[in-house]
Amino acid sequence: MRRIKIGIFGAGRGVDVAKNLMLLDCEIVALCDFNEKRRNEGLKNLGMDVPAFENFDDFIEQEMDAVILANYFHEHAPFAIKCFEKGIHVFSECISNGTMAEGVELIRAYEKSNSIYMLAENYPQMIFNREMKKICDGGTLGKILYAEGEYNHPVSADDHEFNKGFVYYTEHWRNFLPRSYYVTHSLAPLMWSTGATPKRVSALPVYAPFKENITARRVGDRAAIITTINDDDSIFKVTGCSAFGAHHNAYRVCGENGQIENLRGMGNKIMLRYNEWSVPEGKEEVNLYEPDWNDKDEDFINQAGHGGGDYIIARMFLECIRENKQPEHPFDIHSAVAMSSVAILAHRSILNGGKVYEIPDFHREECRKEYENDRQTPFFGTEGSRPNIPCCSNPDYSPTEEQIRKMAEILES
């Protein structure tokens, strides 16, 4: 079988993703990053000598089958489109598009191409989320009515290495990241388990600025509490990337007959409960257990990042390429753009007092027309563009000059 040739765009996270593809016998043929220091560190971490580029257009002139898009969080869409134009497959990290207009452009370009597009969202493949999907698919919970997803990731003010590694200049996207935008880790597992897709969204903020804002973050919110109404009439409540309480990834799915959840602070433990009048054969009313992988690649999975999810999604992507098929919901391009729309419009809801927004269906040209010029963004762009909407629920919030000075000192140390 011919080895699949992979290019890496984004030398930090991209190399981590590439290592899992290498376990699956892919050939890494080139690397690209705008930052020379990170480019050199990426090559060292990769452990091989491949051509390295600063310019993306030069990079994709190399012979390759697919590109890992692991550049800045909000800037994937323009580069995915360039890949589509060359017939290169795309494995895209996090949200697919940073603006609504980019979502329209991404879908239109995809429809003209023969490329496979997969959202590289790894959290659905954590072992407890795989178990939740298995139970939902089994039907014993009955009709799914409600689900919750929390990606809670507070960072210590004393974690200077995190700041230097992940927030390495003052206009970096993490400093301007609205709490609703980093939504796929909380939303995608629910979409995967239940099969539902959000159709309407509203959100409210938890505004509580950090007293020791050592990152000089421009966002004073700790969380976005996002509610969606879905195409099956179920309700989701998700948080985007939050920073309250203790670190955890928590999910719960509730049906007519019972519910399943992973237990906060309890590793991979699952709690599956049924109403006493609807306990299925072979189950107890209360079932507390740790699920098994039951996977032929368990040794590789246990070595992979994000609870094994990194390896599994890499394997899924390669299966799509080799079988010439698009990935299934919620890893396909329309699901990816729907999740990005939740991220963007939930923040818009926060800025407008919890207003409900319809999630557009970009299969439909009338929805595309509505958003094709919508370029509202809270982020600086690497090409020099500036934010045109607030990144915080309180538009007047900003870190102090002292906090900004301390951050600069950390970054220079």
Q: What is the CATH number of the domain that holds 275?
A: 3.30.360.10
In this prediction the pTM is 0.96
> Are residue 163 and residue 104 in the same domain, yes or no?
no
Residue of 340 and 169 predicted with greater confidence: 340
Same domain, 250 and 292: yes
In a domain? residue 209 = yes
- Are residues 111 and 35 both part of a single domain? yes
Separation between Cα atoms, residue 393 and residue 86, nearest integer Å: 40
Q: Are residues 249 and 141 in the same domain?
A: yes
pLDDT at position 214: 64
Pairing of strands 66-69, 5-9: parallel
Looking at the fold, whether 108 and 174 belong to one and the same domain comes out as no
Q: How confident is the model at residue 63 (pLDDT cuts 50, 70, 90)?
A: very high
Residue 408 lies in a domain: no
117 and 166 co-located in one domain: no
Do the domain assignments include residue 410? no
Residue 391 lies in a domain: no
Confidence check: pLDDT of 57 > 90: yes
Residue 227 falls inside a structural domain: yes
For residues 152 and 70, membership in a common domain is answered with no
The pLDDT of residue 21 is above 80? yes
Q: Read off the pLDDT band of 215 (50, 70, 90).
A: low
- Report pLDDT digits (tens) over 357-384: 999 999 999 999 999 999 999 999 999 9
Q: Number of structural domains, the chain?
A: 2
**Whether 53 and 181 share a structural domain:** no
Q: What is the pLDDT of residues 297-306, one digit of tens each?
A: 999 998 888 8
Are residues 366 and 242 located together in one domain of the fold? Answer: yes
Q: At a CB cut-off of 8 Å and minimum separation 6, what does 318 contact? A: 4, 21, 24, 26
- Asked if residue 403 is part of any domain, the answer here is no
Question: Which of the listed ranges 46-50, 133-137, 163-167 does the model predict with the highest average pLDDT?
Answer: 133-137
SS3 label, residue 239: strand
Domain span at residue 53?
5-122+313-323
Same-domain status, 253 and 214: yes
Q: Which long-range contacts (CB under 8 A, 24 or more apart) does 361-370 make?
A: 362/103, 362/104, 362/107, 362/334, 362/337, 363/334, 368/104, 368/107, 368/108
Are 364 and 220 in a shared domain?
yes
pLDDT, mean of residues 276-285: 96
- Compute CA distances 13 → 171, 183, 232, 348, 353, whole Å: 19, 18, 35, 28, 35
Q: Are residues 204 and 349 in the same domain?
A: yes
- Structural domain contains residue 332: no
Question: Would 384 be classed as within a structural domain?
Answer: no
Give the pLDDT score at 157: 72
CB neighbour list of residue 364: distance below 8 Å, 6 or more residues apart:
none
Q: What is the pLDDT of residue 213?
A: 63
